[in-house]
Amino acid sequence: MGESPKAIEQSMLDALSEHALRVGEVGVPEEVEYGWSGGRHILDGNFSFEHNVYGDALLFGLRIDTNKVPGELKKAYELMEEEAQAAQNPSGFISKNQKREAKEITARKIEDDLRSGQFRRSKLVPVLWDLPSQTVYCSASASTEEKLLEIFERTFDLTLMPLSAGSLSLRTLEPKGRRRDYEDLKPTRFVIGPEGEDQSAEYPWVAKGTEPKDFLGNEFLVWLWHEADRNGGIVPTTKGRDATILFDRSLDLDCVFGQTGKDSLRGQGPTRMPEALDALRSGKVPRKAGIIVDANGQQYSFNFNAETFGIGSLKLPDVEEAETPRVVLEERITMLRNFCQTIDGLFDSFLKTRGSSGWEGHTTQLRRWILQSTKLIAAVA
């Protein structure tokens, strides 16, 4: 968000270098320190077109250091000092002044340990900035995300907006003049609730979050499940090409009414398990799923978080016949872009239906599919 650059310039590399984390030789370090890294390794502080620029993508890293002496060790230092002080007294007891001195000695020892780097723990988080799509890709936990947002804005005077199912929906619909459609979207009830037809779907996990439209991610997974089941795994995208979808390895579901609890299914083809269909019938929807996507002749496997639209454990196709390590990275960046375009295309297809007047009719199909699938399982059993 902001005046995003159209091309990578030396000034951007200089800004990264200016905000790089370089460990000082003097002074006690902060408990948590973070800054940019060249990305090749944890100590890489160099930024250049050769190592960080790949076409119109900028690849670097966020280094986060934690400097903290374990609490048990702090306690041991203090007890040892108190024992040494007490041993000087005929009574064997430590005085208040000696206890205060023991604390001061312990504090200095801890500072020496921190200054020496003995308890420094470092981690490197890769960051890819794709300029054409104005998107930053980063495998960030909640605490890492907070640091990434802060230092990115401080470095480039640009604001990062974390994409979730809800914010991605707005980003997709608003340019098409459909912001009002987005604002009017309400949670879908796919089955009758435990308290009857008048009970609304609450999606309680979304109600507690920061983005009220993140339930669209859960509905997207239900829609994707239905489309793949109905069409032999083939699902059209708005990008003009079909994708083949297979749910694999894992499926986590939760009750939209907040009453029937959660289900976690593991194994091949979890959506084909009787327990999965029974979960749908009881009012549960998917929240996380293992998925395999085949698109444009390439196969990707990953774990998908419906609300955050987070991608985990993504396995890209192997790069064949690469002449240099740089070619490998360029090919993988291209694959990542193709993968994201496929996921965006699938979500666009869902939103095209979800934001239309035909969604109620499609919901009827989904409800019928849930009931018929359950009856089929029961008949086979």
Q: pLDDT tens-digit profile of 194-212? A: 888 888 899 999 988 788 9
d(CA 123, CA 65): 7
Q: Between these two residues, 80 and 25, which has the higher pLDDT value? A: 80
Residue 206: its H or E element? helix 204-207
Task: Fill in the amino acid letter for 199.
Answer: Q
Of 225 and 142, the structure prediction assigns the larger pLDDT to 225
Residue-wise burial string across 15-38, b where 16 or more C-beta atoms lie within 10 A, e elsewhere: bbeeebbeeeeeeebeeebbbbbb
Give me the pLDDT at residue 221, please: 97
Q: In the prediction, which pLDDT does 119 show?
A: 86
What was the pLDDT predicted at 145?
A: 92
Cβ proximity of 122 and 41 under 8 Å: no
Give the side-chain half-sphere CA count within 13 A for 345: 20
> Cβ neighbours of residue 37 under 8 Å, at least 6 residues apart?
20, 21, 43, 44, 45, 60, 61, 62, 63, 124
Select the more confidently predicted residue: 153 or 373.
153
- What's the whole-number mean pLDDT along residues 298-309? 94
Confidence of residue 78 (pLDDT cuts 50, 70, 90): confident
Q: Is the pLDDT of residue 240 over 80?
A: no
End-to-end CA distance of the chain: 54
Average pLDDT along the chain:
90
Query: What per-residue confidence (pLDDT) applies to 98?
Result: 84
3-state secondary structure of 179: helix
pLDDT digits 0-9 by tens, 28-59: 788 899 999 999 999 999 999 999 999 999 99
The mean pLDDT of 162-168, rounded to a whole number, is 93
Mean pLDDT calculated for residue range 295-316: 93
Q: In a 10 Å sphere around its CB, with 0-12 CB exposed, 13-18 middle and 19+ buried, how is residue 50 labelled?
A: exposed
Calculate mean pLDDT across residues 75-95: 85
pLDDT band, residue 303 (cuts 50/70/90): very high
Q: Where are the domains of the chain?
A: 10-68+119-162, 71-116, 166-380
Q: Out of 76-80, 147-151, 269-273, pick the least confident.
A: 76-80
High-pLDDT (> 70) share of the chain, %: 96
| Confidence at residue 374, expressed as pLDDT on a 0 to 100 scale | 53
More confident call, 111 vs 163: 163
